[in-house]
Amino acid sequence: MKAEIITIGDEILIGQIVDSNSAYIGQELNKTGISVTQITTVSDDKHKILKAISEAEKRANLIILTGGLGPTKDDITKKTIAEYFNDELIFNKDVYNHVKNLLSGRGITMNELNSKQAYVPSTCKVLFNDLGTAPGMLFEKNNKIYFSTPGVPFEMKFLIKERLIPYLKEKFTFDSIIHKVVMTQGIPESHLATIIEDWENNLPKDIKLAYLPQPGLVRLRLSAQGDKEKLIKQIDNEIDKLNKIIPEAIFGYDEEKIEFSVFNLLKKEGKTMSTAESCTGGNISALITSISGSSEIFKGTVVSYSNEIKENVLGVKIKSLEKYGAVSQQVVEEMITGILKLMKTDYAIAVSGIAGPTGGTKDKPVGTTWIAVGSKDKIISEKHLFGEERNRNIRRASVTALNILRNFIK
C-alpha cells in the first residue's frame, strides 16, 4: 500500500511551527508496512486542499490529512472534505456526547463552538478522539482510504496509533518494511560511494541503499520490503560484506552515536579516558558525559583554550608553541602526554584547531585541526581540514576524534 500525507495550515508554510506530524505518521506507517511516497503541505485554502486531495488519490491508496479540524472559522478542512465527497455535515449524537463528556471531565462547560464538533460528513466513519474534541474521520471510496486527523500532535498521534493503524491491520495484510542503518565516520560521502561502489552495484534487487550525510558522519540506510525473516538475513549478509570493506569507518548501527560506541568499548575493557580540548571547547567531553554511567570510563577534561593553559597545566613546551604554533602535531602530542599524566587515564584525546570563521592563515586556513589520541605506550596524530563553518568544524572535530580513539583502542 502506498500512502500520501497532506498537512494543512498556514502556520507550517510561514515557518511558525515545524511539521513534526508527517515525520511521526511516516514512521508509524513504515512500521506497519505502508510506504509513504509523498508529503504535501498546503495553506488553509479550500481550493488548494481540494486540489491536493485530487492529486494524491491518483498516486496513493491511503491519503492522510492532518490539520484544520478545530471549531474556529479558520479551520475549514471538515467542510472542504465534505464538499470533496459531495457530502454534507450532519449532527452525530455519539460525537456530541463524546465531546460533552470529555469537556465535563475537564471541568469545561460546552459552548456553541464545541457543539459544532459534533457535525461530521454523513458518509465518514468516525474514529473517536479520546484526547480532544475533533474526531478522526475516515472515508472509503474507489478502493482508497482517506483519513482526516486533527493537527494537534498528541491528538494526531493517538488517532494514528490507536485508531487508524489497528483499523488498517484488521482490514489488510502488509509486507514488512525493513530499514537498517550503518553508521560510518571518517570517509566523506563521495569517497565512500567510490569505495563501496562494487558492493552497492551487487546488492540484491530488493534492497535499496541511501546515503544520509551529516557533519562528520555518513549514515548508510539499507531498505527492503517483503518477507521479514528473509530480508533481515539478506541485509545482515550484505552488512557483513561491507564490514570487510570499510571496517575502520563503521562504528555502529541504527542511529547509534559515536560516543556510545566509545563508551561501550571502554566499559567492556575496564579502561578510562580523558580529554584535552582547545578548538572543541569541551564538546568531546560533553558528548561522553551525556551518557548515563560515563563516570565509569571518563575522568575529566582540560579545556586548554589559551597557550597559557596548554603550557602551565598540560606541560606543553613553550618552544613547541613558539616554533610550531598551537595548531600543530607537536603541540597536540604534548597535550596527550600532559593530560595522561594529569588525569592518570588509560587513553586520552587532544584537539587543537582553527574553528573559525576568523583566525585562519595561508598556511593554516580555517578548519585546520590537529587531533591526537594515545596511551602511555603510543601516541598517534592526524591533521584534518574541516571547512569554514565554526559549529560544523567543532562537530566534525569531535566525532572524528572519538572515532580515531575507537580504532586506536580496538
Q: How far apart are CA 266 and CA 274, in angstroms?
A: 12
pLDDT category of residue 328 using cuts at 50, 70 and 90? very high
Q: How far apart are CA 118 and CA 129, in angstroms?
A: 12
Q: How far apart are CA 255 and CA 27, in angstroms?
A: 15
φ/ψ of 320, rounded to 5, equals -65, -40
pLDDT category of residue 71 using cuts at 50, 70 and 90? confident
21, 90: one domain: yes
Taking residues 5-32, report their average pLDDT. Answer: 96
235, 289: one domain: no
φ/ψ of 378, rounded to 5, equals -155, 145
At which of 139, 171, 203 does a domain end? 171
Stated as kind and residue range, the H or E segment containing 286 is helix 283-289
pLDDT at residue 70, rounded to an integer: 86
pLDDT category of residue 3 using cuts at 50, 70 and 90? very high
Per-residue pLDDT tens digits for 332-365? 999 999 999 999 999 999 999 999 999 999 999 9
37, 134: one domain: yes
At which of 196, 223, 253 does a domain end? 253
At which of 197, 219, 253 does a domain end? 253
238, 129: one domain: no
Q: Using alpha carbons, list the distances in angstroms from residue 328 to 24, 363, 384, 396, 407.
A: 46, 11, 11, 18, 22
195, 301: one domain: no
Strands (E), 136-257: 136-141, 144-149, 176-185, 208-214, 217-226, 250-253
198, 166: one domain: no
74, 123: one domain: yes
- pTM as predicted: 0.85
Helix (H, G, I), strand (E, B) or coil at 383: strand
pLDDT category of residue 255 using cuts at 50, 70 and 90? confident
The CATH number that applies at residue 102 is: 3.40.980.10
162, 17: one domain: yes
pLDDT category of residue 60 using cuts at 50, 70 and 90? very high
pLDDT at residue 349, rounded to an integer: 98
- Closest C-alpha to 343, from 307, 313, 306: 313
184, 266: one domain: no
Q: How far apart are CA 202 and CA 189, in angstroms?
A: 19
The CATH number that applies at residue 325 is: 3.90.950.20
Domain total in the chain? 3
Q: How far apart are CA 37 and CA 313, in angstroms?
A: 57
143, 167: one domain: yes
58, 150: one domain: yes
Q: Using alpha carbons, list the distances in angstroms from residue 180 to 176, 203, 222.
A: 13, 14, 5
pLDDT at residue 35, rounded to an integer: 95
Per-residue pLDDT tens digits for 269-286? 999 999 999 999 999 999
Q: How far apart are CA 371 and CA 164, in angstroms?
A: 51
Our measurement of the distance from residue 353's CA atom to the centroid of its chain's CA atoms, rounded to an integer in Å, reads 28
Give the number of other Cβ atoms within 10 Å of residue 68's Cβ. Answer: 25
Q: How far apart are CA 304 and CA 284, in angstroms?
A: 13
132, 238: one domain: no
Range of the domain at 87: 2-171
pLDDT at residue 73, rounded to an integer: 82
